[in-house]
Amino acid sequence: METIKLLTVRSEIAAGTRGAGMGIDALIVASLDQKSTFFKEHKVQNIDDVNNILFNNNDYPEAKHIDGVFTMLNRVSNHTYDTLKSGETPVILAGDHSTAAGTISGIKKAFPNQKLGVIWIDAHADFHSPYTTPSGNMHGMPLAMVSGIDNKENAVNEPSKETVAYWEDIKKVGTTSAKIDPSDVVFIGVRDTEGPENEIMKKHNIRNITVDEVREMGTQAAADLALNKLTDCDMIYISFDVDSMDPSISRGTGTPVEHGLTVEEAKDLNTILVSNEKVVCWEMVEVNPTLDRDNIMANNAFRILNETVEAIKKKSLLMVG
């Protein structure tokens, strides 16, 4: 049977709000409160963070702590690569969403000749570059990093030479060229984007399955639609940002946006999606217990994590049988 390996990344340097690094421990607390042995049953490999960089001044306003982000992406990429190479299925639990660029780079490094598709369940498109970011927060940039998109046509910033040098290095983590074609991204629940991101979505014809669409067609049809968009791809990575869910559930994430998915919808989408045989990796990010009360976000996110991992294990049984 396939083995799951949990990769925990307590990094929060690419978020604008402090506390996402504590998301993993909030999930562990939620698991204990729910009397689950999940974190004992599965292999856990921690990836060291560089959060101490937050005590220093930030030297890169258009790409905050890009030096630290570069270090983190290399670590995440290498661990994802090693996990896949040893025949295990990586499940990444991370703080801020920038790590997803490391994950995608590691997948591509492990299978360089396979076409990789991405299903991105998120309130945000995370397609900014240092040239277009409204905030400088690099958790808004992972999809541009792995697609090699600068989007200078729609620039609003002039990043420094040093920033650009790091950005160029970041685009080469794992493999020197782009890991994905941006037209092989499918969004679910994206509802808070800026102009430069809208241009990318238009240019590459990126499908966003909205929250209303999910509700109208149902989670099974929405998941099928997302997967059908990626029939050309050989393998698929799923990224689940908990801010795809509605803030009425919990405020326990750094950048909440109204009109999101319900917990039930998010759980169904993730479990259905990972049951597809092409899915090689799943990631969950942006739980921030310091913004929450009673650990509500982590309690809901842990339920989703638990059921999604069960679905991955069931799939591998099916494939062996």
Ligand X SMILES: NC(=[NH2+])NCCC[C@H](N)C(=O)O
Residues at the interface with ligand X (CB under 6 A): 97, 124, 126, 128, 133-135, 137, 139-140, 194, 241, 243, 254-255, 286
- For residue 97, state whether it binds Mn ion (rule: CB under 5 A): yes
Q: Exposed (0-12), middle (13-18) or buried (19+): which is 244, by Cβ within 10 Å?
A: buried
> Which residue number, 80 or 239, has a Cβ lying nearer to Mn ion?
239
Give min distance, CB of 154 to ligand X, in A: 13
Q: How far is CA 108 from its chain centroid?
A: 15
Buried b (16+ CB within 10 A) or exposed e, 8-27: bbbbbbbbbbebbbbbbebb
| Sequence-ordered list of residues with C-beta below 8 angstroms from that of 226, at least 6 positions apart, any chain | 119, 186, 188, 207, 209, 273
Task: Give the residue with the Cβ less far from ligand X, 36 or 198.
Answer: 198
Q: How far apart are CA 254 and CA 83, in angstroms?
A: 29
How many residues belong to the site for Mn ion (CB under 5 A)?
A: 5
Contact of residue 137 among Mn ion, ligand X, none (CB under 5-8 Å per partner type): ligand X
Only segment of 97-105, 146-154, 208-216, 256-264 that touches Mn ion (CB under 5 A): 97-105
**Interacting stretch for Mn ion, rule CB under 5 A, among 21-29, 91-99, 105-113, 261-269?**
91-99
What's the 3-state SS for 278-314? Answer: CEEEEEEECCCHHHCCCCHHHHHHHHHHHHHHHHHHH
Query: Near Mn ion by CB under 5 A, which window of 6-14, 41-49, 170-178, 233-241?
Result: 233-241
Minimum Å gap between C-beta 41 and Mn ion is 28
Residue 155 CB, shortest distance to ligand X, in Å, is 14
Nearer to Mn ion, 184 or 286 (CB): 286
CB 78, min distance to ligand X, A: 22
| 89 or 270: CB nearest ligand X | 270
**Residue 122 touches Mn ion, criterion: CB under 5 A:** yes
Which lies closer to Mn ion via its Cβ, residue 110 or residue 266? 266
Task: State the helix-helix crossing angle for 219-228 and 263-274, rounded to 10 degrees.
Answer: 40
The packing angle between helices 296-320 and 23-33, to 10°, is: 80
Residue nearest to ligand X (CB): 140
128/171 with CB nearer ligand X:
128
Under DSSP, the state recorded for 168 is: H
Give the number of residues written for the chain: 321
Q: Which of 49, 67, 96, 126 binds Mn ion (CB under 5 A)?
A: 126
Question: Both tokens of residue 119?
Answer: 């299903």
Quick one: which of 255, 270, 279, 260 has its CA closest to 306? 270
Binding site for Mn ion (CB under 5 A): 97, 122, 124, 126, 241
